Amino acid sequence: MRRLAIAAAILAACGLGFGLAQIVPSAAPPVSATTTVVERAEGRGLDELGLRALIRAAIRDELGAGIANRAADPPPSDTPAEPPAPSVEQVQQRQTADQIVASALASGVWREADRDAIQRLDQLAPLDWVEALRPLVIATNARRVKVEVSGPLFL
């Protein structure tokens, strides 16, 4: 009977330790907390009061570990990681793209030569590509620019 009670207590403690490990962030693996509980279970006679004491101790251990870990964590940052600085070539290509688009808008025509020139700018970062072409997209959607391109507008 006593063995059965010890086994039940161990199982309960394992479950509790695992559950708390999922809820409370902890640098220590859940095994260590479980081990503590198991050692205590073996050292005592188990009755209802003993089991409650074990559970209380396990909760205290886990909460203590969680608080300690939170204190060690760096404060959360609201600002996203900064994108890498553009290379000189990327900056130059963005300027070239802006000039191509500005020239087309001034002339009122988007030609295949313009599209081909944009395609050759293979170092343009995706967001630079979008922002360089955006004025052209706005103008063509509003039908302010004549498109003399067979196929996609800018691909």
- 141 binds another protein, rule: CB under 8 A: yes
Q: How far is CA 34 from CA 22, 44, 72, in A?
A: 13, 16, 23
Length of the chain: 155
- 117 binds another protein, rule: CB under 8 A: no
Mask for 82-101, x = binds another protein (CB under 8 A): -xx-----------------
Q: How far is it, in rounded angstroms, from Cα 55 to Cα 49?
A: 10
To another protein, the closest distance from the beta carbon of 142 in angstroms equals 8
Give the binding range for another protein (CB under 8 A) out of 27-35, 48-56, 65-73, 146-154. 146-154
- 154 binds another protein, rule: CB under 8 A: yes
Count of residues that bind another protein according to CB under 8 A: 24
To another protein, the closest distance from the beta carbon of 99 in angstroms equals 19
Q: What is the full DSSP assignment across 66-114?
A: HHHHHHHSPPP-SSPPPPPPPPHHHHHHHHHHHHHHHHHHHHTEEEHHH
76's CB contacts (< 8 A; 6+ apart) are none
Backbone angles phi, psi at 52, to 5 degrees: -60, -40
- 23 binds another protein, rule: CB under 8 A: no
Q: Which residues bind to another protein, rule: CB under 8 A?
A: 81, 83-84, 125-127, 129-130, 133-134, 137-138, 140-141, 143, 146-147, 149-155
